[in-house]
Amino acid sequence: MSIPKHPAVSEWVSEVERLTEPSSVHWCDGSDAESEKLTSQMVDAGTLIKLNPKKYPSSYLHRSSPTDVSRTEHLTFVCCANKEDAGPNNNWMSPAEAKEKVGRLFRGAMRGRTLYVIPYLMGPAGSPHSKAGVEITDSPYVVANMRIMTRMGRAAAEAIDAGGSFCRGLHSLGDLSPDRRYILHFPEEETIWSVGSGYGGNALLGKKCFALRIASWLARQEGWLAEHMLILGLEDPSGEVTYMAAAFPSACGKTNLAMLAPPLESRGYKVWTVGDDIAWMRPGPDGRLWAVNPESGFFGVAPGTNLKTNPNAMRTVQKNSIFTNVGLTPDGCPWWEGMDDPMPAGTLDWQGRTISGNGDAQAAHPNARYTAPIRQCPSLSPRWDDPQGVPISAILFGGRRARVAPLVYQSRSWPHGVYVGASMASETTAAATGKVGVTRVDPMAMLPFCGYNMGDYFAHWLSVGARLSNPPKIFHVNWFRRDSDGNFLWPGFGKNVRVLSWILGRVKGKAKACETPIGWVPDPKDFNADGLDLSPGAVDALLAVRRNEWSADLPIQEEFFKKFGDRFPADLRDEHRALASRLA
């Protein structure tokens, strides 16, 4: 059966029906026939525009409401009984207040609309890592995206019926007004309420809401990690594959790294994609950390993606994909800034307007997205769906930083690595509403996604490490360092394989490194920069550890850590002090 029979599901659906008063109810089975029917209804309603079937078969464009284009962190809340448990990293509302205030917005919200019930599974079928959810939504666009991003249908129904436990996600578009928009998490009830937005991270409740915020809460109780990380396998010239997980904030290149196509001069290395956004990782009986990708699709940033920066993504989105807020060419193809060919005349912008000739008009919104099935990725790892997951040998933390952080360095130990993750900083991007380019501390790239007090989260990281006899080595990378004229020092993209291969060398105990106050950095003399066409002195500048810059960063970290009071682990305070004294 493709639809769960467990009474807990039908009872909850009835309850939501009484609250939201839809005109009809549709239980999604995830079938092709269902998808075709829903899609053609959306085309008729104008929610989707069919793209050129020769160039982009079975693919569609969706234009969102202009004020609903990214995550809204200020409208996102954790609603647990005790405010301290949500921590200073989350907005908090008491569960009673939240239900009263936002319950009102759900009352009658689905009048004249269809209520869709989406049973879904996060993670491979039959995996001890996996968890089930049910999302109720009045948005067929959400159904179409969830069908790509999660496992809908039989695997989900079986998991729900077998266990009877599932994450409840209630979503309504409401009136799409930011004034009546709330993304609420009730971790103690494994429940999500989202109203007033149709945007990915706010509305595809399996993704950030369940797989990160609720899952991180569960993971702490159950002894595992739910992380904002890509997972890749790096195959070396001998054919051996080593798995790495990497955390970068939204729109900082996780998808590009996960699908990295090494250039010819790196012959012999190959990257296999396991996931591009979320990793669920747990200690295995062998003392290693094992990871699965809970998702089954990509919700990637379109602008800047092209055959040079990410050829695998370009091939992945060639069919069965949904494009949101990109431009539309006169021959019915998606177009965004940074695509390989120049914008064809007559292209419409992301709101369907003709583009004026003055040259600064944007065709795509900077946070325009594609939703595409992972199975279409040419670099897809044969183990992406392995119920056991893959063993992680290296964890990378990375920010977008013009200064301070070198291209790559290795932490001194697991606790020091946790400190490196906890203190990482990055410049903000268009993935969230607000100012772009502001540097903020974003620990493990989880600041918007950790569903509980980050002081406890850091302690949990330390305790997971203590349970691993063979923990991954922890690194920090920064592709975004600039020279004094503001130019990027590092070419990035495919060339990042140079950094991955140094990391692999460290994992295998083969690559040389220099000890610095912040950790182990490649020796500029033996860092392979041949053929990269870097400016003179770039390697030294990329790898430099400038004590004055680092010392200036310490008070910023300290101020951030202070917010967590007693919940901030003493071991990390010690790491902070030790770094300060190494820098002095």
Q: Tell me which residues touch Mn ion (CB under 5 A).
A: 250, 277
Q: How far is the CB of 429 from ligand SAT (least distance, A)?
A: 8
Which C-beta is closer to ligand SAT: that of 72 or that of 320? Answer: 72
* Cα angle, residue 119 at apex, residues 115 and 122 outer, rounded to 5°: 135
Tokens of 271: 């990257």
Element (H, E) at 15: helix 7-20
Which C-beta is closer to ligand SAT: that of 145 or that of 320? Answer: 145
Q: Which does 207 bind (CB under 5 to 8 A by kind): ligand SAT, Mn ion, none?
A: ligand SAT
Q: Which does 62 bind (CB under 5 to 8 A by kind): Mn ion, ligand SAT, none?
A: none
Q: How far is the CB of 319 from Mn ion (least distance, A)?
A: 24
The Cα 458–Cα 270 span in angstroms is 33
Question: Who contacts 178 (Cβ-Cβ below 8 Å, separation ≥6)?
Answer: 67, 68, 72, 75, 196
For the question of residue 377 being annotated catalytic, the response is no
Which C-beta is closer to Mn ion: that of 138 or that of 277? Answer: 277
Q: How far is the CB of 225 from Mn ion (least distance, A)?
A: 16
The Cα 378–Cα 317 span in angstroms is 11
The Cα 299–Cα 96 span in angstroms is 33
Which C-beta is closer to ligand SAT: that of 250 or that of 453? Answer: 250
Which C-beta is closer to ligand SAT: that of 59 or that of 367? Answer: 367
Q: How far is the CB of 431 from Mn ion (least distance, A)?
A: 7
Q: How far is the CB of 149 from ligand SAT (least distance, A)?
A: 9
| Ranges of H-type helices in 208-362 | 215-222, 254-258, 311-316
Residue nearest to ligand SAT (CB): 201
CA 211 and chain centroid, separation: 10
Beta strand residue intervals within 56-166, DSSP E: 60-62, 76-78, 91-92, 114-122, 131-137, 151-152
The Cα 216–Cα 78 span in angstroms is 12
Q: How far is the CB of 207 from ligand SAT (least distance, A)?
A: 5
Q: Which does 299 bind (CB under 5 to 8 A by kind): ligand SAT, Mn ion, none?
A: ligand SAT
In eight-state DSSP terms, residue 375 is G
Q: Which does 431 bind (CB under 5 to 8 A by kind): Mn ion, ligand SAT, none?
A: ligand SAT
CA 9 and chain centroid, separation: 28
Contact present, 471 and 414 (Cβ < 8 Å): yes
Tokens of 470: 């063979």
> What residues make contact with ligand SAT under the rule CB under 6 A?
71, 200-201, 207-208, 250, 299, 431
Q: How far is the CB of 280 from Mn ion (least distance, A)?
A: 14
Which C-beta is closer to ligand SAT: that of 129 or that of 208? Answer: 208
Q: Is 185 helix (H, G, I), strand (E, B) or coil?
A: strand
Which residue in 230, 258, 252, 344 sits closest to 304, CA to CA?
A: 252
Which C-beta is closer to ligand SAT: that of 61 or that of 432? Answer: 432
Q: How far is the CB of 342 from Mn ion (least distance, A)?
A: 30
In sequence order, what DSSP letters do the residues of 250-295 get, joined into one string? TTSSHHHHHT----GGGTT-EEEEEESS-EEEEE-TTSSEEEE---
The Cα 296–Cα 148 span in angstroms is 7
* Cα angle, residue 256 at apex, residues 251 and 257 outer, rounded to 5°: 110
CA 50 and chain centroid, separation: 27
Which C-beta is closer to ligand SAT: that of 181 or that of 416? Answer: 181
In eight-state DSSP terms, residue 86 is H
Element (H, E) at 149: helix 140-149
Q: Which does 334 bind (CB under 5 to 8 A by kind): ligand SAT, Mn ion, none?
A: none
- What are phi and psi for residue 472, nearest 5 degrees? -60, 150
Which C-beta is closer to ligand SAT: that of 155 or that of 205? Answer: 205
Adjacent-strand bridge partners of 182 = 195
Which C-beta is closer to ligand SAT: that of 201 or that of 283? Answer: 201
Q: How far is the CB of 297 from Mn ion (least distance, A)?
A: 13
The Cα 159–Cα 336 span in angstroms is 39
Write down the catalytic residue from 80, 167, 252, 377. 252
| Ranges of H-type helices in 390-446 | 414-422
SS3 content of the chain, % helix, strand, coil (to 5): 35, 25, 45
Q: Which does 210 bind (CB under 5 to 8 A by kind): ligand SAT, Mn ion, none?
A: none
Contact present, 340 and 334 (Cβ < 8 Å): no
Question: Who contacts 199 (Cβ-Cβ below 8 Å, separation ≥6)?
Answer: 64, 68, 69, 70, 71, 72
Q: Which does 71 bind (CB under 5 to 8 A by kind): Mn ion, ligand SAT, none?
A: ligand SAT
The Cα 15–Cα 132 span in angstroms is 20
Q: Which does 200 bind (CB under 5 to 8 A by kind): ligand SAT, Mn ion, none?
A: ligand SAT
Q: How far is the CB of 200 from ligand SAT (least distance, A)?
A: 4
The residues annotated with a catalytic role in the active site are 252
